[in-house]
C-alpha cells in the first residue's frame, strides 16, 4: 500500500524534503546540499536521506528553481523569434521604462533573443481578427530553413493581433515543424492570448527559452522516479499556486518560473488558517533572500504581471511575492558615505558566511547571530559546525572597526539594518496595498526567519508571530497542499452597460471546454474538477484593470461590477460609482482537486513542562549586556507548554529566538506562537 506523500523544494543552498505518512499523520524532514550543476541529483539524495522507498509513495510533488535560475543566468539553448514584418524590435523597445528612473548608467538587460535571431515574415491580422494579409508561406519556409541552418531548435512565434485570430500563427508552427526536425515551438496565441504585443511576446519568448530546458529536466526526473518504483505523476508546482503534470510542461514551461517561491506562500496560508488567522503575512527568510507574501480573508494575493528580469514581463497569474536581498548570508558593509548597509550582496553557498569555515571573510547576518549567541556552535543537528572566532573576526573587520563599535554592538547594528529592510518590504506589500499589519499574524519560516520574527513583529506592531513546526522545510510542505491548476483567459472588451449576458456565458463556456480538456489530459476525474470564473474590469479610460470573481447567470455581470467598485476603493482608496465601467477580459481558474494531507491536532499535555537542554549568554536588542538564556530542543517541547522569554529554541532546520517580554506557546498544531507583553493567544 502506498501511504507516503513526498514534497521536494530545491533552493539555492539546500534541497528540502518533507514526507507525510498518511497512516499516522507524522511529518518527517530531510535537508541536503543543493547541486546547481544538476538539481536532480540533490532531489534523489534528499529522498534517500529521508529514508523513502519510492514504491511506498502515493504522491510526489516538486518545487523547482530550474526555470528561474535559467532566466537569471541565461543558460538556455539558442532561441529564435518569428514575428510580423516590422515588429522584430517590440521586445527590445519594451515600454521604454527603467526600474530606476534616476540611474542614467544602469541599462535594462538585453532581450532573451538576439536581434539576428528575430526574423520577420509577411502576414497581418487586424484588431477584430480579420486576416488582412495571409501568411506568406514561401517566406515562412525560407525563414524556417534559415533557422535550421543556424542549428536553432526552439522558436517563439509572435504575430500581431494573433490573440484575435490564431490562423497565421498555427500555419507558421506547421511549417516550422515540417522544416526543422525536433523543433519546439511556442505560439503567442496559445501561450497568452491577450492584447498588448510586448507583454504577449515577452511571455511567449520566456516560455520558448525554457521549454526544452525544463522539459528535459522533468522527463529525466520522472524517469528516475519511475525506475525507483514510483507509479504516479510527478506534480510540478507553478507560480500560480497550483501544480501541473509533465504532459503540459512543454506547452507552459514558463509557469514553472518562481515555482519554489510560491510554495512558501501556500504553506504560510495553510499554517495561518490552521491557527485561526484569516489575515497573515508570510516571511520566508533563507540563506540569500527573503520572500514576503500576504493572505487576506484566507486568500493569497495574486498578480497578473511579474518578471525575473525587469523589462521582460511574464503575464501568467502568479502568487504575489515580494523578494528582497536579506538572508542569513547577506553581507553587512559600509557604503562610501560611511553608513552601515545590509545586503543585497550575499556570501552565497560557497564560500558562505565566515563562520562556516569555507574561506568567507565578510560579515553576514549568520555571523552576527553567532557573535550574539543567538545561534549555537553547530547547526543542522550538529552536522554543520560553526567557527565562532571566524564570525567575530568578520564582524570586527567589516563593521566594528569602521564604525568604532565593539563586537556585540556591531553585530546588533547589522541585524537591525537587516530587520529594517525586511520591515520596509512588509510595509510595501501591506500598508501600500491598503492593509493594516496590526490585523495580521506574521508566519516566519525558512532557516533564518524564526531568529528575526519577534523583532520584525515588534517593529510592525503585529500582535502574533507563528513559527511552523519545521521552519526550514516549510516551503516543501507547501508543495503538498496544492491542486492541479490552470489559468485561462479571453479578451472581452465591452462597456459593462452594453454587455449581453448570453454572450458572456458563451465565451465562458468556450474557456470551460478548454479547461476540461486540459485537465482530462492530466488524468483528472470529472468529479474532481472545479471551475472558478472572474472578470477583469476597469473604469472607462483607465489603462490597468482589476480582477473580481464572477458568478453564473443573468445577473452575474451586474453583481461583479458592484464588487468592482468596492475592490477599487480598497485597492486604490477611491471609487466612482457613477462612472462607466469597461469589461477587459474573462478569466477562468481551472482546478483539478488532489487529495490533501490530513494534519491532526495534538492533545495538550496534562502537565506541559519544558526541560532546558543548556544555557548560554545571549545578546538581545533591548539589553546592552548579555543575558544568561535557557536553550531548549524543540522536539522536547510538549503541546501547551508556555515559555517566558528570554529563550532560544533549537531544531534541525532552524533556531527560534524568544526575546525578553515575549511569551511563546506550543499550540495543538505544534506551531510556536509568540505574543508580546506576556499575553499568549
pLDDT at residue 380 in the model: 57
CATH code linked to domain 484-592: 3.30.1490
Length of the chain: 681
Q: How far apart are CA 607 and CA 163, in angstroms?
A: 65
The H or E element that residue 409 is part of is helix 407-429
Q: How far apart are CA 82 and CA 67, in angstroms?
A: 23
CB burial string 245-278: b at 16+ within 10 A, e below: bbebbbbbbbbbbbbbbbbbbbbbbbbbebbebe
Q: How far apart are CA 668 and CA 671, in angstroms?
A: 7
Helix (H, G, I), strand (E, B) or coil at 431: helix
Q: How far apart are CA 667 and CA 637, in angstroms?
A: 10
Quick: pLDDT tens for 264-317.
Answer: 899 999 999 999 999 999 999 988 789 999 999 998 988 888 888 889 999 988
For 549-566, give the DSSP string: E--SSTTHHHHHHHHHHH
Spatial CB neighbours of 316, under 8 Å, sequence gap ≥ 6: 192, 203, 239, 240, 252, 254, 255, 304, 487
Where the chain has pLDDT below 70, the residues are: 1, 12, 349, 380-383, 597-598, 678-681
For the chain, give every domain's residue range.
72-213, 259-310+429-478, 484-592, 614-676
* Overall CATH class of domain 72-213: alpha beta
173, 175, 210: which is closest to 188 by C-alpha? 173
The H or E element that residue 548 is part of is strand 546-549
245, 205, 189, 425: which is closest to 330 by C-alpha? 425
- Bridge partners of 131, per DSSP, are 125
CATH label, 259-310+429-478, candidates 3.30.420, 3.40.50, 3.40.1630, 3.90.1690: 3.30.420
84, 167, 170, 158: which is closest to 121 by C-alpha? 84
Distance in Å from the first CA to the final CA of the chain: 41
Amino acid at each position: 500500500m502506498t501511504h507516503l506523500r513526498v514534497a521536494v523544494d530545491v533552493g539555492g543552498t539546500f534541497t528540502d524534503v518533507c514526507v507525510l505518512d498518511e497512516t499516522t499523520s507524522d511529518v518527517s524532514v530531510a535537508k541536503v546540499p543543493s547541486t546547481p550543476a544538476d538539481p536532480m541529483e540533490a532531489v534523489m539524495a534528499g529522498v534517500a536521506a529521508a529514508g523513502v522507498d519510492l514504491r511506498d509513495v502515493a504522491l510526489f510533488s516538486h518545487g523547482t528553481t530550474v526555470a528561474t535560475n535559467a532566466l537569471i543566468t541565461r543558460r538556455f539553448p539558442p532561441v529564435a523569434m518569428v514575428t510580423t514584418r516590422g515588429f522584430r524590435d517590440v521586445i527590445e523597445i519594451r515600454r521604454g521604462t527603467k526600474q530606476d528612473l534616476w540611474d542614467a548608467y544602469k541599462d535594462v538587460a538585453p532581450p532573451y533573443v538576439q536581434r539576428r535571431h528575430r526574423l520577420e515574415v509577411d502576414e497581418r491580422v487586424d484588431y477584430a481578427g480579420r486576416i488582412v494579409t495571409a501568411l506568406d508561406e514561401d517566406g515562412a519556409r525560407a525563414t524556417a530553413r534559415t533557422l535550421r541552418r543556424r542549428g536553432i531548435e526552439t522558436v517563439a512565434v509572435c504575430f500581431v493581433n494573433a490573440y484575435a485570430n490564431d490562423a497565421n500563427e498555427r500555419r507558421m508552427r506547421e511549417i516550422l515543424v515540417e522544416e526543422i526536425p525536433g523543433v519546439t515551438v511556442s505560439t503567442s496565441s496559445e501561450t497568452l492570448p491577450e492584447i498588448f504585443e510586448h507583454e504577449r511576446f515577452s511571455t511567449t519568448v520566456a516560455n520558448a527559452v525554457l521549454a526544452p530546458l525544463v522539459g528535459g529536466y522533468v522527463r529525466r526526473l520522472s524517469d528516475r522516479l519511475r525506475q525507483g518504483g514510483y507509479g504516479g505523476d510527478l506534480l510540478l508546482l507553478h507560480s500560480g499556486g497550483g501544480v501541473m503534470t509533465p504532459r503540459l510542461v512543454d506547452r507552459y514551461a514558463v509557469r514553472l518560473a518562481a515555482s519554489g517561491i510560491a510554495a512558501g506562500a501556500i504553506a504560510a496560508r495553510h499554517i495561518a488558517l490552521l491557527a485561526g488567522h484569516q489575515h497573515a503575512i508570510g516571511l520566508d527568510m533563507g540563506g540569500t533572500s527573503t520572500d514576503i507574501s500576504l493572505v487576506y480573508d484566507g486568500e493569497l494575493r495574486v498578480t497578473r504581471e511579474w518578471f525575473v528580469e525587469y523589462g521582460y514581463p511574464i503575464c501568467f497569474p502568479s502568487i504575489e511575492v515580494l523578494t528582497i536581498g536579506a538572508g542569513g548570508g547577506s553581507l553587512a558593509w559600509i557604503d562610501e558615505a560611511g553608513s552601515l548597509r545590509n545586503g543585497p550582496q550575499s556570501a552565497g553557498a560557497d564560500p558562505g558566511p565566515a563562520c562556516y569555515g569555507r574561506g568567507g571573510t565578510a560579515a553576514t547576518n549568520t555571523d552576527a547571530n553567532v557573535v550574539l549567541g543567538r545561534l549555537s556552535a553547530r547547526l543542522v543537528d550538529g552536522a554543520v559546525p560553526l567557527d565562532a572566532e571566524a564570525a567575530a573576526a568578520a564582524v570586527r573587520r567589516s563593521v566594528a572597526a569602521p564604525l568604532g563599535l565593539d563586537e556585540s554592538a556591531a553585530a546588533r547594528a547589522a541585524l537591525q539594518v537587516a530587520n529594517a529592510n525586511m520591515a520596509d518590504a512588509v510595509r510595501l506589500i501591506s500598508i501600500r496595498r491598503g492593509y493594516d499589519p496590526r490585523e495580521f499574524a506574521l508566519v516566519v519560516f525558512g532557516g533564518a526567519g524564526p531568529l528575526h520574527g519577534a523583532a520584525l513583529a515588534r517593529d510592525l506592531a503585529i500582535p502574533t508571530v507563528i513559527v511552523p513546526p519545521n521552519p526550514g522545510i516549510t516551503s516543501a510542505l507547501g508543495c503538498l497542499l496544492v491542486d492541479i491548476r490552470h489559468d485561462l483567459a479571453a479578451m472581452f472588451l465591452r462597456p459593462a452597460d452594453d454587455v449581453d449576458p448570453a454572450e458572456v456565458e458563451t465565451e465562458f463556456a468556450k474557456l470551460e471546454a478548454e479547461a476540461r480538456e486540459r485537465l482530462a489530459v492530466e488524468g483528472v476525474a470529472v468529479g474532481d474538477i472545479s471551475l472558478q470564473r472572474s472578470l477583469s474590469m476597469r473604469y472607462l479610460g483607465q489603462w490597468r484593470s482589476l480582477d473580481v470573481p464572477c458568478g453564473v447567470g443573468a445577473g452575474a455581470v451586474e453583481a461583479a461590477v458592484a464588487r468592482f467598485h468596492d475592490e477599487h476603493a480598497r485597492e486604490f482608496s477611491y471609487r466612482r460609482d457613477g462612472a462607466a465601467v469597461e469589461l477587459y477580459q474573462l478569466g477562468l481558474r481551472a482546478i483539478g482537486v488532489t487529495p490533501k494531507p490530513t494534519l491532526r491536532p495534538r492533545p495538550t499535555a496534562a502537565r506541559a513542562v519544558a526541560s532546558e537542554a543548556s544555557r548560554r549568554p545571549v545578546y538581545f536588542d533591548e539589553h546592552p549586556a548579555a543575558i544568561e538564556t535557557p536553550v531548549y530542543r524543540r522536539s522536547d517541547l510538549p503541546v501547551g507548554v508556555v515559555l517566558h522569554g528570554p529563550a532560544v529554541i533549537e531544531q534541525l532546520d532552524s533556531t527560534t529566538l524568544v526575546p525578553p517580554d515575549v511569551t511563546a506557546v506550543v499550540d495543538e498544531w505544534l506551531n510556536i506562537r509568540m505574543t508580546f507583553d506576556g499575553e499568549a493567544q
